[in-house]
Chains A and B, each alone.
Chain A
Amino acid sequence: MIELRDVHKRFGANEVLKGITASVEKSEVVCIIGPSGSGKSTILRCINGLESYEAGDIFVEGARVDSHAASIVGIRTQVSMVFQRFNLFPHRTALENIIEGPIYVKKEPRAQAIERGHALLAQVGLAEKADAYPAKLSGGQQQRVAIARALAMQPKAILFDEPTSALDPELVGEVLGVMRKLADDGMTMVVVTHEMSFARDVADRVLFIDGGVIVEQGPARTVLNQPRHARTQDFLHRVLHPL
């Protein structure tokens, strides 16, 4: 349902994506791993048009992604995004954050959006936090609200941009737990992450990116347990044995 063909992206003189070709099938969970600055996040940001790209094509359900075209709004409502720093709207409560898109973008009736908002909060284990403002929530709770906000758009896929990197270690589990449930329910997910155990247990496929190219890809356990490329082996060794 998501397809990238030879995508190139540069920031000034710095080419961050040097020909990325990949696809994500429906209900598939794909984890993107790689050193920082390798272009992992940029791939996600190109898929939903937060960044433009210079060459190549990206298709979402057959529609070409063009960040400057009006069609981008339609694509964004199909592919939601969860950010590293949550990016909740601080002036709105947890519930208001969730119903904002359904009411103002999708024009859903308010009562219906609120009812579904409560259901989504329950789904991420925050039923009692509907009226809390983001500042009163822990990082893990904020990220779970952000996931509920993404789900509220009833997307066909969700992009996760290092969803646990800004969290205290003891809060990582609650967010990964919610994500694992989503994967079990058949949500299509693309996850940029440093959580190798999550990638190993939940992902169908893993892409290892370095220097703007896909160095290695394949079934999660294969890539993570028996990496073929020296760069992948080196990266995994450093992540799994930091000392």
Chain B
Amino acid sequence: MTATTIGPSVLERRFPPVAVLATVALGLVVIGGILMASYAPRRPPLTLPIIVLTAAVALLVVDVVLLFRLRDFAWDRFWLVFRWALLAYAISAGMIEFAFVRDHTRGAPLVVVTAMLIVFAVSVPLIIAFTVARYASQPSSASLASER
């Protein structure tokens, strides 16, 4: 761990809304997935799914920027959790992708579904790893002061 175990409580420290933004991104791709799945086995209209997918990707990009600007953060704990969770959710996403391919989803709808599954497979590990690491990050007094 990069953080120490003494000092102010981790509950005192305020973090950017990384988990909230990732949860909203997850919610958006869930909505997009519902829109697409409700048309199966027909070819779905893609306008609305592409809009929600774009919004989800934008949120995720903002999220990653906010995350990497953090100081005094338990990065080793974050990466430990993130890589194992990513493996688990990549398997889940791969299975869903397989089901869509098996059901003859092709072309643009498959691209949109794949992009949504990538957002899903990244956002869930991001939420889990951030939640674990934020409570493992003991702030220095200086970082507490600068973030207030």
Binding between chains A and B: no
